[in-house]
Structure 1
Amino acid sequence: MRITSRTMRTAIIAAMAAALSLGAASGALAASGSPAPAAVSAKTDRVFVKTVKLSQGYTAALFRVADGYTAEISSGGRYVATVTALGDSTTGTSLRGLTVQLTSRGAITTTADDSRPLPRPQDERVFVRSERVGPYLMAKVYRTGDRYEAVISGEGVRTATLTANGSTTAKTVGGLRIVLHADGGLTAYAAPAA
């Protein structure tokens, strides 16, 4: 079991609280003339129960404690938060768009926060056509949303990519000037000597 500074601090606080309450109780009993209690131990140990995979890449290590459960939440092997539910309570925490709740019976639930914007759906890349643009060059034209993309390859090796996003774009490849128009049309001609 990995001991973190938080775990150590919690154990020290619990031991000090037990010692104080034991000292006060034994002092009260000694003053009343009753015999001192044999041994009162503060149960600060945690018993590992299971590891729960949460959404968005988070995991929770669930531990049974004296009067409930504790979950240590991590992401990518790094500690993120601890949630403890004691008695008949339910506690939770918010983690960058995800709310994690733990009941005192050890049930973990997650819900996505609505405050985080949803990712914009990506337009699907659709193959339009393939055409020869020079003696050894081929162009494959794709459409993604309202833009066109031409992948130029020569003898199976990609040599250039042109993207027309509402306007015409051009590139010189192997002495050939290739133009991709806004409507997806291709034009190729010999590049002028420099």
Structure 2
Amino acid sequence: MNINKDRLQKARDGWSNRGNKRPPFAIEPEEGQRSVWDFPRPPVIEKVTQPVLVQYQGDTIVDTQNALAVLETASPPTYYIPREDVNLEILVELQGKSSFCEWKGKADYFAIKENQNRPVAWSYANPLQEFADLKDYLAFYPQHLECFVDGNRVKPQPGEFYAGWITPDLTGPFKGESGTGHW
């Protein structure tokens, strides 16, 4: 893949919030909570110690304790599951559908075999160097699946583009809510 390094750097530099100062509109976290406004940019990868479960209409796609989470300013974490912990028999890779993240690289998408009109997951086959740890991992949209962390069903990050998992320990507001497009 040929990457225009100037365009990539411009996209990376375009963010004003970088997790080093919480904006005045951010909700103050209570004890045991974290503010997404304290998450850094560039994003970081965090090992998840709680069990993670992903289901579709009662079928288990993921049941793992080997997840990673990407933490990025203004967004709830996105959970990434090692390919070997994903029931790939339920999924199909969507041909010709991809996107590009200025931090992670080119993403390829997956759908449920019986409903190939809507992507439910994606992966980075060849992530950019800073996110090489995400190679052979899949992330899932909680908008279209039943996703759980430590037994708690997550709420999906608002909007259709983002795929953060909102757990009870997070405070926002979260990117994707109405009026947040400029974040």
Could you say whether these structures have the same fold, taking a TM-score greater than 0.5 normalized by the shorter chain as the test?
Answer: no
Structure that is richer in strand per residue: 1
Structure with the larger RCO, 1 or 2 (CA within 8 Å, 6+ apart): 2
Q: TM-score, normalised by structure 1?
A: 0.23
Greater Rg by CA: 1
